Amino acid sequence: MRILKFLLFGTLAFFSVSAFALEIPEIIKMSDVEEKPVLFHHGEHQAAVSDCSDCHHAGMEKPRCNSCHGADRLIPRLKSAFHHQCRNCHIKNGGPTDCSGCHK
Ligand code: HEC
Ligand code: HEC
Ligand code: HEC
Ligand code: HEC
């Protein structure tokens, strides 16, 4: 029994660690809305922006923006949420603001 518990715990710990590592990709090819795909360098942004919640403003439980934006009509649509968050920070901090800077 003790061995079984140990194995279970070990497996859970292993899965939670590896799942976490796998769930944060270096580059995300965004195609939630039909348009030229935007390649988002999550890794570089994560390194430049210290706080996850600057972008994941609703917390880390649902990291995908489309779990709320576009899912509930009272919440701003996905395109608007991305354009506001991405572009506003770029205007302030010097990332690309031209369409082609993001839509390759
Ligand atoms: C800072 C980055 C950035 C800039 C600059 C930007 N976009 Fe986007 N745009 C995005 C992201 C991110 C999405 C969502 C992509 C996705 O999930 O597929 C998006 C989505 C869109 C969509 C899809 C909307 C839909 O409902 O299908 C259109 C159209 C669009 N952008 C047009 C533009 C135009 C036109 C400009 C220039 C005036 C522009 N974008 C500038 C990042 C940007
Ligand atoms: C500069 C903005 C920004 C920062 C900072 C940031 N993220 Fe993200 N993250 C995003 C965007 C945008 C996505 C793509 C969301 C989508 O496609 O709906 C994403 C996606 C993710 C995903 C993948 C979701 C999936 O299933 O594809 C995870 C996990 C995640 N972020 C975790 C984190 C963690 C942990 C931190 C802090 C260490 C962090 N993020 C910091 C913007 C950011
Ligand atoms: C758990 C639900 C939830 C998730 C997940 C979520 N949001 Fe939001 N978001 C909201 C709600 C509700 C509002 C409107 C109320 C407010 O301003 O807080 C909002 C407002 C916003 C706004 C301000 C309104 C606008 O369009 O300018 C931006 C920008 C935004 N979200 C971007 C994002 C991005 C980018 C992600 C993914 C990284 C994300 N949100 C994930 C619920 C969510
Ligand atoms: C909180 C601030 C912040 C947010 C939010 C943010 N960015 Fe950026 N981004 C930056 C900064 C700062 C740079 C410039 C980094 C550099 O040049 O070293 C940058 C650079 C970029 C670049 C050019 C360099 C590269 O990595 O290819 C792209 C493309 C880009 N961002 C896309 C996006 C998209 C798409 C979003 C929204 C999903 C987004 N960014 C949200 C701060 C932000």
Q: Whose CA is closest to atom 42 on ligand 2? A: 55
| Interval 29-85: pLDDT, tens | 887 766 678 999 999 999 888 899 999 999 988 888 999 998 999 999 999 999 999
pLDDT at 85 (0 to 100): 96
Q: Which atom of ligand 4 is nearest to 102's Cα? A: 29
Q: Which ligand is nearest to the CA of 40?
A: 4
Cα–Cα distances (Å) from 27 to 6, 44, 45, 48, 70, in that order, read 36, 9, 10, 14, 23
What is the reported pLDDT for 33? 65
β-sheet bridge partners, residue 38: 30, 103
CATH topology of domain 25-102: Cytochrome C3 (3.90.10)
Do the beta carbons of residue 63 and residue 56 sit within 8 Å? yes
Please give all residues whose beta carbon lies within 6 A of any atom in ligand 3, as ranges: 55-58, 62, 65, 67-69, 75-76, 80-82, 84-85
What pLDDT was estimated at residue 17? 40
Q: Kindly identify the ligand whose nearest atom is closest to the C-alpha of 81.
A: 3
Q: Tell me the mean pLDDT in the region 84-101.
A: 94
Flag whether pLDDT at 6 surpasses 70: no
